Structure 1
Amino acid sequence: MRKIKKIMMVAMSMILVAGMVMPLHAAGKVTVKASGTATPAYQYGQEKELKLTITNGTDTAIENVVVTPQVKANIEKWPFEIENVSYEQKVDKIEAGKSYELTYDVKAREDVASKYYNVKFDVSYDGLENAFEQSVFVKMTAKPEEKPQEKPEEKPQTDPQPQQPSADTGISNSEPMVYSGGDSGDSGSATTSTSVPRVIVTGFSTDPEEVKAGSNFKLIVHLKNTSKTTAVKNMLFDFNAPTEGQDANTASPAFLPASGSSTVYLDGIGANGTKDISIDMNAKSDLVQKPYSIEMSMKYEDGDGTQFESTSSISVPVKQDARFEFSEFELSGETVEVGSEVNVMCNLYNMGRIKLYNVKAKFEGEGIKSKEIFVGNVESGATASIDGMITGESETTGDGKVKMVVTYEDESGAVFTAEKELTLLVTAPMTDDMMMNESEMVEQEKAFPIIPVIVGVIIIGVIVVVVIVKKKKEKKRRAEEEEILEDELNRLTENE
C-alpha cells in the first residue's frame, strides 16, 4: 500500500513539473503611440495638441490606467515648454482589444533643434506590478539662424614702414637704407649722383600651391631691381616668421627652414632685371587656418660697393585639414517594413582646428528614402548630433548596406564629402492574410488540449506500473506457497 502511495506522489509531481515547463502563450501588450500614421511635427514656439492612442492588446479589460509623460528641464528629454504642474492623464477602464485617445496641449520650446526628439511616457494600471515605459518620436523644426557677417581677417604687419601689404598679393616692400662701403673713401657722393637701386618683391608662389599645417613646402620669391641704370650684386636674404604658441615652452616660429638655414645667397640682378630665389620651409603643425607673414630682410651692393638694406613682408595662407569622426549608429530597429520608418542617430565629433560650415547629412541605399538633415555649423572641438528618419520603400534584395553621406564647407565655400555605412534591411509589410494565418495558428494551438492529454498519459502510465507491481507480488507469493508445499511433501516422505 505504501508503494502505491509513493507511485501516486511521483505521478502528481510529474504532472506539476509538466505544467511548469509547458510553454505559455505571451499575453498581449498595452501600447501607447502617436495617433495617425505621420510623426507629430512642431515648429519652434508652436502651440499644438499632441494626440496619443493607448491600445489594450491583452485578453482582459484594464482599469485605472495612468499615462504620464517624463517631463524634464533638459530639452533633449522634453522639447516642450513646462506650463503645467502635472501632465498625468487617467482612463477608468479600457476593454480588451479597444483603444482610447489621449490629448495633451503642448507648446514647442523656442530653442529646439531641427531633429527628431524621443519623448517617453510612463504607463501603469491595476494589476501591473511596475509601470512600463513607451517612447513617442516628435519632429521639431528650429528657428532659422541669422548668419553673422564675418569680418575679413587683418593680415599681420611686422614692418612699420610706410608701405602696407597689398590685400591682393600679401606683399609689402620697404625703402632701402644706404650704408657707405667699398674701396672709395667717399662713396656717399657717388650715390647722390646716381639713382638708388631698389630691390622689391613682385610676387611669390608655393609648391604645393596650398600650404597645409605640419607639411613642407617650397617658397619661391620673385624679385625685381627697379633701377634702370644700376645693377646690384652680392645679395643676401634672410627669412623670419613670427612666433606662434601660448606656452613659452612650446612657442616657436610659424615657419622654419627645412634645411636648418634661413639665409639665401644670390650673385646679383642686372639693371631693371628680375630673378627668383627659393627656400624649403615647414609649417608648424598646430597653426590655425589663416595667413601668416614671413619677413624677408635683404642686403646687397651696387657696382661701387655701396651697401643697401631693405625688408619685405610676405603673407602665406595656411590651411588645416578637417578632422572629424562619427560615433556608432543608434537605430530604433534592426529592420524596417515597407512603408514604415526607423530612427537613426549618431554624433559628429569635430576633432580638427577648423570650423565646419553648413553640415548636411542624407541616407542613401537600396529600398529606402530619407530627407536631407541640416546640422548647421560645427565649431572646432564641438559635437553635433545627426538625427534622421529612414522610410522603407521596397524590400531589400542585397546586403542592406546604407550610406550616410555628409557634406560640409570650409571658410572659402569649397564643398567636401564624407561617408559612413550602416546595415538596414527593408522587409515586406505584414499583409492581412499573414496576420489571419498567424491568428488561426494561435487559435489552433489554444484549442488543442495539450495538458489534459499529458495528464491522461501519465495516469495510464501509473495504472500500468501498479498492475505490473501487483503481478510481480502475486507471482512471488505463489512461488513461496509452492516452496512450502514442496518442503512439507519432502518431510512426509522422510517420515514414512
Structure 2
Amino acid sequence: MRKAVLLKNLLIKKFLSIFICFFMVLSVIAVTSPISARASYVDTNLNTFIHDADPTPEGVVGQDMQLTVRIGYNGKNGLYNPKTEQINNVRVRLSQDQNLINTNGIVPSANRTNPYDPDDESAESEAYNEGYQAGAARAYNASLGLTYPVDGGVYPLEINSSTMTQEKKLGTLKKGEYVEVTFNVHLRSDIKAGYYGVPVSIFYDVPENPSGSYGSLNRAEFINISVIDQGEITDPASTEKESAFAVGENQATPAASYPSQMAYTVNFRNQTNRTLYDVKVHMENALDPTKEFQNTAYSKASASKQFPFEISQSNYDQTFEAVTPEEIITPAYVLNIKKNAASGYYPIDYTVTYKRTPDATLQSKETHTFYVNINNPSMNDTEPDSTREFNANDRTKARLVVGSYHTEPEAVFAGQPFKLFVEIENASTNINASNILLTVESEKVDNSNVFSTENGSNSTVINSLNAGESKEVSWTMIAGAGVNPRAYAITVNEKYDSPEFKNAEEKVTLDVEVKQIPRLSCTGFDIMPPSVTVGSESNVMFNINNTGKVILYNVTVAFEADSIQNTSAYVGNIKPGETGNVDAMITGFSPTTDDGTIHVTITYEDINGETSSQEETINLYVIEDIPEDLERVTPEEADPAKASSINSFIIPGAVIAGILGALGIIFFIRKKKKEKEQKQGTDETI
C-alpha cells in the first residue's frame, strides 16, 4: 500500500512538473499577447466559506450596485474546512490580492509547487490531486487562492479606497451557520454585460484543536455577479430580480368536496433565461399563519382551519432533473380531505429548490403560494353562532390590492410637485367592499416626512368597490427638497367594510423614486497670461463645484472662440460637495476682433447617461505676432562709420517697437472694455 501511494505521488509530481512548464509558457504568451477579456460564470464548487447570494447580485454597467454574498461553512464542501465546530474573529472584505484583481484580461502565472506533503492522504490533498488531474490548473490555482479561475477574467469593479476598505466583522461563526453581508461597489463603465467572478477575502481564527490547523488564517474565494447593459432595463435604478418560477399561470383554483379526494396539478414555469437543475418542489404540510384562510361558509366550532389534507406519507416532494427556459413542470397531487376541514380557500405553500449549474453545491430556494378550494358540508353552520367569541378568521372580507400605480410627471424631482395615481382593485371573486378610506403615509428621514400632500389632506374615500372592480384615486404631493436621490416608501392604509367584516384594515407599500437636479458652480478663474500672440498659449485654470446631491459623471470642458484653437479638457466624475479642477492650455489662432470672450461649455452626464451642459465665459485677447528680429545692415555691407550709426539706430528702434506694441495691447483692451460697458449701459437703459 505504501509503495502504491509513493508511485501514485511520483506520477503526480511528474505530471505536475510537465503541466507547470507548459503553463509557464502559456503565461509568457499571455503577457506578450493579452487575451481578449470576456464575462464568465464562476464554478464555486471549490469554495468553503464564500458563496453566491440568492438571487445572484445584479447591477448595471457603469452604475452603483450592492454586492451581497453568503458567508459560512458546512464542514463538507470546499477545500479549507476547519476541524472545529466554529471559527472566531471572522472578517470579510473584497480581496486586494493583485493576482486576483486582474484588470488586463491576462491570466497570471501559477508557477507554484504542491503545497501538501507527498505522503499526506488528507481530504484536502486528495481534492488537490484529483482536481489538478481532472481540471489541473483550475483546482490547483483555486486551492491556493492565487489566480483567477476563469479564462481571461476581468475584474468588473472600479478600484478605489472606499471599495477596498469595506470590512464586515461577523465575530464567531458556527459550522452550518450562514450570514449575508453586503458591499457597496461601482461597476466599471468599460465592461460588457454578462457574469463576472469577484474575489472576496475571509480572515478568521481557528481554535486550537488536535486534528487540524489552527491560528489566524485567511482565504480568497470567488462569487458571481450578473451585469446587465443599460439598454436592457427600463429603470436603471431598480434591477431587483424576480423569482425563477411563475406559479399557477392560467389555472383555475382547484376545488373538491369532502369525502371525495382532491386531485390537482400546479404549473411552475421557468421564467429565467437559463436552464435550472435538480429542481425539487416541496409541498409544506402546515399553513403559514401570516397568510389568510378565507371562509366560504359559516363554520362550526369544531371545524379545523389548519392544513386541510390527511398526511399519508413523509413528504410529497417531486424532483425534476432539468427545467429549460419557459418550460412548465406540473407536479400532480391526489390527497384525502380531512373530515373536520372547514369550507374555504386554503393557501398551500410550495418550496422550490434548484441549482443554477449542474454541479453547483449551493442551492437556490424560493417559496410560492397556491390556493385550493374545499367544501365540507358537514362542517358548515346554517347561521353564525352568536354566542361564540368573535374571531376575525370566521368572517369573510374583501381583498383590496393595488393593481398599478404611476406618477405624473413620470420623473419625480425633489422639491417639485407631482401627482400619484393608484389603482385600487377588489381582488375578491364574490365579496364587495364599501366605505373605503384610503390614507397615504410617507417614509420618514430624520423624523421628517419625505413626501407631503400639497393641500394637507392625505386621505380619500371610495364609496363602494364590487368584487373584481377597480377604481383610480390620486393625491397631489411634493418631495422634500433636501432628500438624497433614491426610492422612498409611500404606504397606502386601507380601512373598509365587507358584508360580514366591518372596519377591516390593510396596508400596501409603494416605492417612488426621487431624483435630484444636478447643480454646479465655477470659481477661481485664472488665465495666465491674459493676452497672447498668435500661436502662443495661455494657461486656464478654474474649479467646478458640485453643489447638488447627485454625482456629475464624465464632466468635460470645451473652449470655443474664433480667435483660438478649439480645445477641451476631461475632468471625470465629481461627487456631491466635491470639486473638480480644470487645467487647460489655450492656443491663439487669429487676432481678436471682438471683446475677447471665450465660450466655456461644461458638459456632464447623470446616472442614466443623459447629457446636460452649462455655459460660462472667460476673456482672452489674441494679437498679431511681433517679429523677434528686425532687418539690420551688417558692418560688411557698409563702411564702418555707417555700420556703427545703423546699429545704434536699430537697437533703440526695437525697444521703441516693443513699447509701442505693449501700449497698443493696453489701448486695445481698454477700448474693447469701454465699448462693452457702453453696450451694457445701453441695454440696461432699453
> What's the TM-score, normalizing by structure 1?
0.49
Greater Rg, structure 1 or structure 2? 1
